[in-house]
Structure 1
Amino acid sequence: MFNNSEIFTPLGAGGKKYAVIVAGGAGLRMGTAMPKQFLPLRGKPVLWHSLNTFLEAWPGLEIILVLPQDHLHTGETIVSTTSNPARIRITVGGETRFHSVKNGLTLINEPSIVFVHDAVRCLITTNLIHRCYDAALEKGNAIPAIQPIDTLRIETPDGNRLLDRQLVRIIQTPQTFYSDLIKKAFDQPYDTSFTDEASVVEKLGIPIQLIEGEASNIKITRPLDILLAEKILEEREW
């Protein structure tokens, strides 16, 4: 078990900030030939919306964009249309999400706060980014999560049983950490239990800090999600 003070050096409120934006998915559930991060959403690719929101969050924040090898040119074209392409670096993804994030983290070599974000959570707001930063600055990490509204049941060897949804949380991104902490966590060997960055950090014995996420911070996965995202963006523009 590690203490926070053993694994990261506290930063001031004006410390360096990086966002590792992971855009390596194939989008098989979307049923399209083009990966979902490149699909159009109100005239811009899904990825563009995620990049631009992080660029707007702070003028000094830098982005590391992790892309599939086969789609580097597409990503470069999208980056060139953002509000500040000079603050975005591109690297190639790996075999799994763990390896893709690890590739992005190798480009961070100074004490900082690091956001790891799914490119297809394109409705992220600067408000949520700021709240994740403030919480991580204080606690070492911050993971946005929301409470489910549906009734939940879990399958067991004896059938299934009801879960108390008051005790369950749906995890979102950006998952936010001190750079020392997350880089140390990603020095661990890959494990199939690593489904997100919080699970990697948790294996070090670090308590995970949940903060309130946003219901609109959906992950574009199915065609219906594009329709929902279009509507949310339309209402934000009113």
Structure 2
Amino acid sequence: MKTTGNTIFITGGSAGIGLAFAKKLSTRGNKIIINGRSEERLQNALKELDNAVAIQGDLSVKKDRDRIASELKTNYPNLNIVINNAGAAFMNDLSDSTNNAADKAYQEMNTNYISVIDFTSMVLPQLLQQEEAAVVNVSSIAVYRGNKYLPTYSASKAAIHSYTQGLRDTFSENEKLNIYEVYPPLVNTEFSAEIGGANGISPSEVADELFTALENNQFEVPVGETKLIHTLLEEVAAKIAAK
């Protein structure tokens, strides 16, 4: 896929991985539209970007999704790449009956899964009008196994992984639309600070991997230690297919 001359919408684009995507792609001659809940954070992010604008809104809220999709259609008709990066995660102790685990899980599932499906369905008609387009969903190394610290977050990312595979299969015969999935491991961002993010890789490493994947039409984008797991699973799948 071309890596310049695109119009790219990035959810959760005011910080962390989303901002790293924006920085990488804006320096390559692309028009960048970042989204986030905080107008102040968006304006601060724009100071670090070239050829970029912002649309404030919370994509976990239906009315905001409707408004943003309408604004993209009206003001940015050349939109051809959507990066679904915004997410929610909570430490969720399932052994604590006072933890309100279901409420946390609901918020994670709504933000990381349901909202992505709904918003993607809104922008797909616009993407399908372009000569070349892509949907990029950011999942996680957590799709492969949950843990006691982020069990419901892991479940929401496993759900978006399955959805992404289904979306790719749905449009497998459409050569103009590509479906990518990025699998970051632990990344050093404010988002992951509570779970030891300081020990993670840099957001720029994730952005570099996505850029290379776009150049090479590599639709599966494991990053860092996720590459090892991904390779092992591919080897197992190949052995099963060969039987």
TM-score, length of structure 2 as denominator length: 0.40
Question: Relative contact order (alpha carbons < 8 A, sep ≥ 6): 1 or 2 greater?
Answer: 1
Counting strand residues as a fraction of each chain, which structure ranks higher?
1
Counting helix residues as a fraction of each chain, which structure ranks higher?
2
